Amino acid sequence: MSDEAWKMFRGVRDELMKLAQGEGLTPRKVELRTPYLMELVGAADGQTVSDLIRSFLDAMEPDKFTQALRNAFGGEGYPPTLTERRQRLGDELGLSVGGISTREEKAIDVMARRIIALAETRTAPEPQNQGALIAALNGLQDSIMAQTAILQEINGRLKRLGD
């Protein structure tokens, strides 16, 4: 991973982790705590990013990592603080708060990569002719296939680590 790609990943990952703190994911919190993420996805308001994050969460494989991340982001019916949410889920699953935190972090890594991939497709330059368009679409398809393979490998490793 290049230095620039690593910085982008860390920026998105760090801001996603901030969103889980306190009361969890809210549009107002997105606006206050995730300027990098908002700029990256081209969002004008926190509601757009909040909806995007929820849609990514809904699209993720429903496994123990996604369960921990959904719990971390909270919402209606969840305890008001991250610590309380982690404790409740840990009690339900027979895990420590640290174990829940580790699962959250793994799911955040997956989500960060997916958000970056989305942002990269949105910022690709517009081709000037049909040949360039076909080449750009083929390049995008290759990139998506490579990212899919990487995500499948990550999911496989996460499953093996969790078992």
Every domain of the chain and the residues it spans: 3-123
151 pLDDT band, cuts 50/70/90, is confident
pLDDT tens digits, residue range 67-112? 999 999 998 889 999 999 999 999 999 999 999 999 999 999 999 9
Residue 154 pLDDT exceeds 90 = no
Q: What percent of the chain has pLDDT over 90?
A: 57
Burial bucket for residue 9 (CB in 10 Å: 0-12, 13-18, 19+): middle
Record the tokens describing residue 124, joined without a space: 């690709």
- Would you list the DSSP string of 6-64? HHHHHHHHHHHHHHHSTT---HHHHHHH-HHHHHHHT-SSHHHHHHHHHHHHHHS--SH
**Whole-prediction pTM:** 0.73
